Structure 1
Amino acid sequence: MFYDRAKIYVKAGDGGNGAISFRREKYVPFGGPDGGDGGDGGDVYLRVDPHLNTLIAFKYKQHFRAERGESGQGAKKTGKRGAHLYIDVPPGTVVMDDETGRVLADLVHPGEVVRVARGGKGGLGNARFATATRQAPRMAEKGEPGEERWIRLEMKLIADVGLVGLPNAGKSTLLAASSSARPKIADYPFTTITPMLGVVEIGGPGGETFVMADIPGLIEGAAEGVGLGHEFLRHIERTRLLIHVLDGSGGLEGRDPLEDFRTINEELAAYAPELAERPQIVAINKIDLPETQANLPRLTEALTREGYEVFPISAATTEGVPALLARVLERLRELPSPQVVAPQERRVYTLEETQEDWWEAERISRHHFVVRGPKIERITRMTDFGNEEAAERYQRVLEASGISAKLEELGIQPGDVVHVADVELIWDEAALEAERQEAAAQRRRKTRRERMAARLGIDPDELLER
């Protein structure tokens, strides 16, 4: 079975926790805090491996996790960073976010890499929180959780030429006659049930080559899911040129080849309008049959009048095939390279935005509020609310950033719930008021210190050290 779709779960590594530690040495009774930072978690990347041609590996494994960062240690030792995880995919893989459907990347070139989950930042150790007024902090940050998501992978074959046409038109026979590909061939519908690739070589060894794809299952209603066509139509999106193979004999049912031609083009247009505008060369196949010889003048005249180049061929005997392939090569030289799928626009929080403390708050129900913003969400995830000093620091962040004032403006009351990131916080007005009073007292002490230092003619920090 041809596996060209997959759904996988990726989880980046969590950041390591910061350490709470104090320097302890002989004759140094008050060495101060020396807790190191936690290491960052590993990222998850997708990487193009040119040796792969299917997504079958993801049938057996769907969950992927990068290594977490190690926790910090004493003596200001930073924890080891988690190793990045690389997941190999075949060329032509389109990556989409499963929840939103947004295109994340279109991986075409060998070695191309895209990050699909960012590792969490390591938490700061208590050495980072030491100040002149708080010389022995007993708090540290938790590591930030790594990103996690479900992503969809869809493979689109990378071919220069796509063969389209109704079942039994002779596409597989033409592919076999043109290249070393050996598709299954038989005289019944849907002989080909998987896309086939073949490399066509013009001019013998060392000559020019191009890749041709046989796309199976196109029948009326394919774009809506009838038959097999809807499974494989996307594989011709990258092709630069289409060879429309017509059974000139009309088949055993005696169909009109012109009606077959229009049926397939209508399906292409229904699936993606740009496919109907893709350059086409028409190959009227089976000219070794009397029925085709009888239909040939009418078909050639009608299709030429519509602006198509027409080549009568017999894929079974290879009559007319070299002329067709030579013309295909000429057209490919003129046509531009296929366009990759453009990743859809999304908001990306840059470092500058994070430093500007971008955030928003809103009331979502009578007793529930939500706060969003890259920096406040990260701080929330990394705060150890079981540590009193850490909880007090978080209160100061809310106060200093203006979030507390905004929530009060929205009518928050004690006991209401505030949702930040994945954390639910209970609003405590008493704690906030105590924090305000402490902040005001610190400002008063700082003002007195600056005034005294000015009278003595020294730096305020020098006065503090005394």
Structure 2
Amino acid sequence: MSSPNFIDYVKFCSRSGHGGAGCLHFHREKFIQKGGPDGGDGGRGGHIILRGNAQLWTLLHLKYRKHVIATNGNPGEEQDRTGADGKDEILEVPLGTVARQAETGEVICEINEDGQEVIITPGGRGGKGNAYFATSTRQAPQFAQPGEPGVEEWIILELKLLADVGLVGFPNAGKSTLLSVVSAAKPKIGDYPFTTLTPNLGVVQYRDDRSFVMADIPGIIEGAAEGRGLGIRFLRHIERNSLLLFLIPADAKDIQKEYEILLNELRKYNPELLDKKRILAISKSDMLDDELRTEMQREVPTELPSVFISSITTQGIQQLKDLIWKNLHD
């Protein structure tokens, strides 16, 4: 998943098709001058539909589709023939996609299963032909129903990554390095803040051919919930993770304080995130000797499991995997 190709937000104008008009017609043939009404119904307008596709990881293919337009339904015809329905526009999206109204922010649906289909903008219904309105007292209705108009609205699609473990930490805490060590993912790594500008996914191999998925989320800074740094653009990805792995480097000035800042940003963004299981890993611990490690152990928050790791020397990596697996399947 390369940076330029990962798109997790698109906005487009969605316009469904108009319903076809009902037909106003009376049966006519040789020797039958006044046949009954036989006008057929109009076809419905095309829907705008989202379909889940497990093979997609990004919304890149929809980035430049600013208008999605379905076709109109055809009008009804004589001899009680119903007009053809408008062609539906089906947009395939990755699992974890949320559709919402651009104006109100109201969530329309969430796509979480492969092949799941949801109509986000319904087409207009076709109008009834005059044959529909015929009764014993009104045998020759001189009217038919027009089709319903389609709907035009702006839709926002947001992708929330589906992963077992989400990495949470400040920029340059070693999240990308850890992901590159425990999986085959190749995120961009550098010794400066905001190296990671897009989320990265990696499959972590565990014992006996078991595995779990880890997501590297771009670094959080204080004030991210209000839009600072990369803001809330990537905080939403954490909502889909089963377990949160907090990563704080061993050279941090105050481990407890950094943990509280990260926790507070999650709380301000969505208090429900605090209900998720949490693990703390102290990264870059290869720079610590035994005395420093013992001293730093006193600073580590005691309310959650913790482990000292080094992605360079792989120290504590297997212990971290065991801790993650235990918490995922406890």
Structure possessing the higher relative contact order (Cα contacts under 8 Å, 6 or more residues apart) = 2
**2:232 paired residue number:** 230
2:294 to 294, 297, 300: 297
Report SS of the residue matched to 2:194: coil
Q: SS in structure 2 opposite 1:260?
A: helix
Matched, 1:264 2:268: no
Aligned to 2:279, the other structure's residue is in SS state strand
Task: Name the SS for the 1:152 alignment partner.
Answer: strand
| Distance in 2 (alpha carbons) for counterparts of 1:31 and 1:192 | 74
Task: After TM superposition, give the deviation of residue 211 of structure 1 in Å.
Answer: 0.6
Match in the other structure for 1:323: 319
How many Å apart are 1:262 and its aligned residue? 2.1
CA contact (8 A) 1:22 1:31 kept: yes
Provide the rounded CA distance (Å) in 2 between the counterparts of 1:281 and 1:113: 36
Q: Percent identity?
A: 47
Q: Residue deviations 1:360-389, cap 9 Å, x none? A: xxxxxxxxxxxxxxxxxxxxxxxxxxxxxx
Partner of 1:240: 242
1:203 to 207, 220, 232: 207
**TM-score, scaled to structure 2:** 0.93
Structure 1's 217 and 116: CA in aligned 2 closer, same or farther, altered over 3 A?
same
**The structure with more radius of gyration:** 1
Q: Which residue of 2 aligns with 1:59?
A: 63
| Corresponding position of 2:101 | 97
Query: Could you tell me which residue of structure 1 aligns to residue 33 of structure 2?
Result: 29
Name the aligned partner's letter for residue 278 of structure 2.
Q
Tell me, yes or no, if the aligned pair for 2:277 and 2:327 is still in contact at 8 Å. no
Structure 1 residue ranges without an equivalent (≥5): 335-466
Amino acid at match of 1:12: S
Q: Structure 1 residues 162, 233: CA separation in 2 closer, same or farther (over 3 Å shift)?
A: same
For residues 275 and 231 of structure 2, the distance between their equivalents in structure 1, rounded to whole angstroms, comes to: 19
Report deviation, 1:293: 5.2
Please give the alpha-carbon distance, in whole angstroms, between the structure 2 residues aligned to 1:48 and 1:133.
51
Residue 192 of structure 1 contacts residue 217 of structure 1 at CA under 8 Å; is this kept in 2?
Answer: yes
Aligned partner of 2:276 among 275, 278, 282 = 278
Match for residue 456 of structure 1?
A: none
Distance across 2 between alignment mates of 1:220 and 1:226: 8
Q: How does 1:103-122 map to 2 (within 5 A)?
A: 103-122=107-126
Question: AA paired with 1:78?
Answer: T
Residues 406-444 of structure 1: CA distance to partner in whole angstroms, max 9, x if unpaired?
xxxxxxxxxxxxxxxxxxxxxxxxxxxxxxxxxxxxxxx
Question: Could you tell me how far apart the structure 2 residues matched to 1:37 and 1:230 are?
Answer: 49
**Superposition pairs for residues 155-170 of structure 1, below 5 Å?**
155-170=159-174
Gaps of 5+ in 2: none
Looking at secondary structure, tell me which structure has more helix per residue.
1
In structure 2, relative to structure 1, the CA distance for the partners of 1:274 and 1:37 (3 Å cut) is: closer
Q: Displacement of 1:132 after TM fit? A: 4.2
Q: Which structure 1 residue ranges, 4+ long, deviate > 4 Å from structure 2? A: none
Number of positions where the alignment pairs a residue of Structure 1 with one of Structure 2: 326
Pairwise CA RMSD = 1.8
Question: 66, 72, 75: which one pairs with 2:76?
Answer: 72
CA-CA distance at 1:63 after TM superposition: 1.5
Question: Secondary structure of the residue that 1:303 maps to in structure 2?
Answer: coil
Pairing 1:312–2:291 present: no
Task: Return the TM-score normalized by structure 1.
Answer: 0.67
Q: Deviations over 1:185-212 (max 9, x none)?
A: 11111111111110001126xx111110
